[in-house]
Amino acid sequence: MLINVNKLLSPEILSLLRSMGHGDRFVLSDANFPSYSHAAKLYRMDGLTIPEAAAAILTHFPLDSFIPYPVQRMEIDGKPDEINEVHKDLINTVHKVSGPDWKVGSIERQKFYVEAKKAMAVITTSDTRPYGCFMFTKGVLKPDGSVWII
């Protein structure tokens, strides 16, 4: 047993997050994302929504401050600037858990699929809200354990 580990994270997901280095990415996806055909490694967080899964992950995952958007959302087809409910929920979760200064960017849907295949892993949830797919980039920790912010 460990202390202060979010109970929603499986040993496999904890191992993934720990093994990632600076600049490595993973996808947090909704239930409709073609996870099996796009994942180098696939992990499941069944029964959870995107914000629930993101909150659990972000309690242990440093975001990358060396890039403009360490979190990117899948754009809505034909409406790239529209922010839907699941996008709002994820953005609020990032700000609540990681801090208010983190920015969430966007990737066009077809390009998101291409980038997902390059990611280290896909973590899929049971959230069925449309366009609920996000890419996270890992940051750097300082010697004191805090997240490196540039």
Catalytic sites, residue numbers: 22, 64, 113
**Amino acid residing at 15:** S
CB 15 within 8 A of CB 63: no
Alpha-carbon distance 25 to 64, whole Å?
Answer: 10
- Closest residue by Cα to residue 101 from 138, 51, 149: 149
Would you tell me how many other CB atoms lie within 10 Å of the CB of residue 72? 23
Return d(Cα 24, Cα 71) in angstroms, integer: 12
